[in-house]
Amino acid sequence: MWRPGNRGSLRVGHKLIRAWETKEATAVVNCSVNVARALCAVIFFAAAVPARAEPTLKLGVLTDLSSFGADVTGKASLTAVQMAIDDFGGSVLGKKIELVSADTQNRPDIAANLAREFLDQKHVDVLLDLPQSAVSLTVQKIAQEHHTIDIVTSGVTAELTGKSCSPYGVHWAEDTNALAAGTVGALVSSGLKKWYFVAADFAFGHTMEGAAQAVLARKGGVSVGTVWVPTSTMDYSSFIMTAAGTNAEVVAFATVGNDFVASMKQAHEFGLAQSGKKIAGLITYLSDIHSLGLDIAQGLYVTSSFYWDQNDAARAFAASFEKIEGRKPNKTHASLYAATLHYLRAVKAANSSDADAVIGAMKSTPADYFGKSVKIREDGRAIFDLDVYQVKSPAESKAPWDLYRKVNSEPGDELFAPINKTACSFLH
């Protein structure tokens, strides 16, 4: 062993071997003794042997960090996943749980490249978040090709469990069918039957508008028109004036994130609500309402699976989240947290990170979504109850994030469309 004070020497048994006793000036240790030679090999060549990497379970989060949906998902999505990892304990099956993330910029081409990089080079075990319908559809297909689980907690297109379904896909976000059934169904039932739609001209907008039209038809309502709006539109005046000129009782906006906020601000400027029309947001997030302010957003009807003040569990999560982010969580962040925990519990229950074993465990075991029971169907659709809210007036609100008043609750089994085994290929 090495002894302090004997610099340049090595003790082997009772023999002290000194560098200055060797015949060759370049030798540091006399390796003529077999044991010493072995020790020399360890001393001089151990550094050349790479250390074995710590085994990890990698969670890949593909989210929008810089585009129109960044406030809905963004950096706070990473916080939600990390909170779930920490609350789970940071490891599973002897593996450290690692978070890997990237910015899709809400572009399916960028998301596709990132997904392949995550799967082929970084070897992630699951893909999470996936905002924007085209992004989530693209990435789910790539994940299926790689036999990897994807959990969509932001993208809302119902096609994820329809014609674009995957045996490894889980759709935890509310989908277009449920959102339409919640908001449109509640307002039509209250007697508001004539609707006009201002819808985003991309995959989500078309799917959302179609789902809302279907609910109107079932409930006895009628559409008096639709206008399609490009994403990142700055001037909504012509669209809003057209809506104002119709005999619609409700003007429904199927726009997302910053686009929704911009459209609501301009609707307020042009007095759309003051003209007697009700305004509905078909996909609305808490951060949207907070950004708008209650003077503008008051009276708006929204459907949501999560509200930070719904119960004690939600309030506790929101308090921890706010300490990190300085804001209350959106339903996307709550979905990410709950879905991540359910995935990690499934890995533990399956005693494996194998995708087939884990997806089986996820579908066979009920999940908890802040007091709501969640069942993942055979097609990957997560079923849970939804609540319809109305945005409070400034006089009703008692705190900066006290924004919603609950109108009613709707059972998930009635809001989400039933399994379509004809459309979903792996269920044929």
Average pLDDT over residues 165-183: 97
Confidence of residue 52 (pLDDT cuts 50, 70, 90): low
* Cβ-contact 59, 98 below 8 angstroms: yes
Contact 63, 21 (CB under 8 A): no
User: What mean pLDDT is reported for the chain?
Assistant: 90
pLDDT at 331 over 90: yes
Rounded to 5°, angle at Cα 350 from 347 and 355: 65
Say if domain 56-174+310-384 classifies as CATH 3.90.1170.40.
Answer: no
Q: What DSSP string runs through 12-60?
A: ETTEEEEGGGSSSTT-SS---SHHHHHHHHHHHHGGGSPPPPPPEEEEE
Q: Where are the domains of the chain?
A: 9-48, 56-174+310-384, 177-304+386-413
Read off φ and ψ for residue 404, nearest 5 degrees.
-110, 145
Domain boundaries 177-304+386-413, corresponding CATH code: 3.40.50.2300
pLDDT over threshold 60, residue 162: yes
CA 303 to chain centre: 18
What is the arithmetic mean of pLDDT over 173-200?
96
Q: Which of the residue ranges 37-51, 177-191, 251-265, 349-363 has the most confident prediction, judged by mean pLDDT?
A: 349-363
- Cβ–Cβ < 8 Å for 224, 246: yes
Tally of residues, the chain: 428
Helix 74-88 with 331-350: angle, nearest 10 deg: 30
Q: Is the dihedral of CA 259, 261, 267, 272 positive or negative?
A: positive
The region of weakest confidence among 66-75, 211-220, 370-379, 380-389 is 66-75
Report how far residue 418's alpha carbon sits from residue 250's, in angstroms, rounded to the nearest whole number.
27
Environment class of 293 (CB within 10 Å of its CB; exposed 0-12, middle 13-18, buried 19+): middle
Selection from 301, 310, 283, 304 nearest residue 412 by Cα: 304
CA 392 – CA 397 distance, rounded (Å): 6
Beta strands 126-129 and 149-152, pairing class:
parallel
Amino acid identity at 246 = T
In which band, very low, low, confident or very high, does the pLDDT at 257 lie, cut at 50, 70 and 90?
Answer: confident
- pTM of structure: 0.85
Q: Tell me if domain 56-174+310-384 and domain 177-304+386-413 are identical in fold.
A: yes
For residue 313, pLDDT over 70 is answered with yes
Query: Is residue 203 predicted with pLDDT exceeding 70?
Result: yes
pLDDT band for position 51 (cuts 50, 70, 90): low
Q: Residue 230 and residue 202: Cα distance in Å, rounded? A: 8
Band (pLDDT 50/70/90 cuts) for residue 53 is confident
